[in-house]
Amino acid sequence: MGDRMTSTGAIVSAPRPTFAHRAEYAALRGAVAAMERLSFTRAGSIGERIGALGYWPIGIRRAVVERQLAAAFPERDAADIQRIARAAYGHLGRTAIETAVLPSYTATEIVGLFEGVEGWSIVEERLARGKGLILVTGHLGNWELGGAYLAARGLPIDAVARHMANPLFDRYLTSTRQRIGMTVVHDEDAVRRVPRSLRTARAVAFLVDQGAVGLASAWVPFFGRFAKTPRGPAVFALRLGSPIVFGVALRQPSGRYRLTFEALDAVDTGEREADVDAIVANYTATLEKWVRRAPEQYLWHHRRWKHQRPGTPKDLGDPL
């Protein structure tokens, strides 16, 4: 794999794939080839069964998932937490397979995977203002399918993404997003490329529920605990005057999805740091509201409260 350049102009060598990376990737490509011959619903069902194995008997990160769920929903009993956790594993498996087979679908077929869309007029009206559009979401429902829908509808869209640990997976997912009509902007290029996209009236999508070392962040409440949350979308909104819209694609009992958009306020009082924190808290609270509606469709496998400011009280920090 080739080198890549950061937004500061530095050259960073892309990691070379190991034997384990190659084996994982070969397994993925073999599974995708088999799944592409099946219907979207059938492929997703198989993915759900595979994902469920991660909960039992394999038990990958099971303690993380259950303890975070218990911290987020202290009113639920142990049986309910286990039920949601088991369903979350199945949903993650389904989402992974659905995402992997997306490139084999036409734009019309992708649109047909949704049984309804609410708030599309918000997207159109905000984008028509000519200052671009900042779309924020979390690892809830099928976020990749939501982005694919936007591209299929002809929305000019960039997706800001982090690199994956497996460089072959990373390259595959990037090419998958590009084949369905999205332009991928990796984190290290966001400072340079996002303003350019917004100034040319494009939409830029961000996943806003994973903190990382070195990523500009704010600590805001998420299920009552401080979570390190990316502040980039808020900074761009204030700096460029771009509107912010939250979107989420939730799976319905029918097996198809419903996509919902809602506008978020980005108030500029002149107190930049406080205004940024307020916007970050707003889109995080909005995500929490939607996670509460479908907790089994959220990525509880990620340690959401891992990174903490020094001095954070235990009852407001990482529950693990």
Of 46, 57, 39, 56, whose CA–CA distance to 104 is shortest? 39
DSSP 225: E
Average pLDDT over residues 3-17: 53
The answer, yes or no, to whether residue 11 has pLDDT greater than 70, is: no
Q: Which secondary-structure segment (H or E) carries 15?
A: none
CA distance 311 to 320: 16
CA distance 217 to 209: 11
Q: Name the 3-class secondary structure at 251.
A: strand
Q: Phi and psi for 300 in degrees, rounded to 5? A: -75, -5
Average pLDDT over residues 184-195: 92
Whether cis (ω within 30° of 0) applies to the bond prior to 57 is: yes
On whether the CB atoms of residues 304 and 208 are closer than 8 A, the answer is no
Q: What pLDDT shows up at residue 13?
A: 54
Largest CA distance in the chain: 55
DSSP 105: S
> What single-letter amino acid sits at 112?
G
More confident residue, 217 or 215: 217
Region class of 213: left (phi > 0), else alpha (psi between -120 and 50), else beta: beta
- 102-106, 267-271, 282-286: which has the minimum mean pLDDT? 102-106
CA distance 91 to 72: 19
pLDDT band at 8 (very low <50, low <70, confident <90, very high): very low
pLDDT band at 169 (very low <50, low <70, confident <90, very high): confident
Q: Phi and psi for 167 in degrees, rounded to 5? A: -65, -25
Q: What is the pLDDT of residues 228-251, one digit of tens each?
A: 999 999 999 999 999 999 999 999
Q: What pLDDT shows up at residue 241?
A: 97
Q: How many CB atoms lie within 10 A of CB 88?
A: 24
Domain spans, the chain: 4-316
Q: What pLDDT shows up at residue 14?
A: 63
The answer, yes or no, to whether residue 31 has pLDDT greater than 80, is: no
Instruction: Calculate the CA dihedral of residues 200, 287, 311, 217 and round it to 10 degrees.
Output: -10
Helices (H) and strands (E) in the chain, counts: 11, 11
Q: What pLDDT shows up at residue 35?
A: 83
More confident residue, 164 or 72: 72
DSSP 37: T
Average pLDDT over residues 125-152: 96
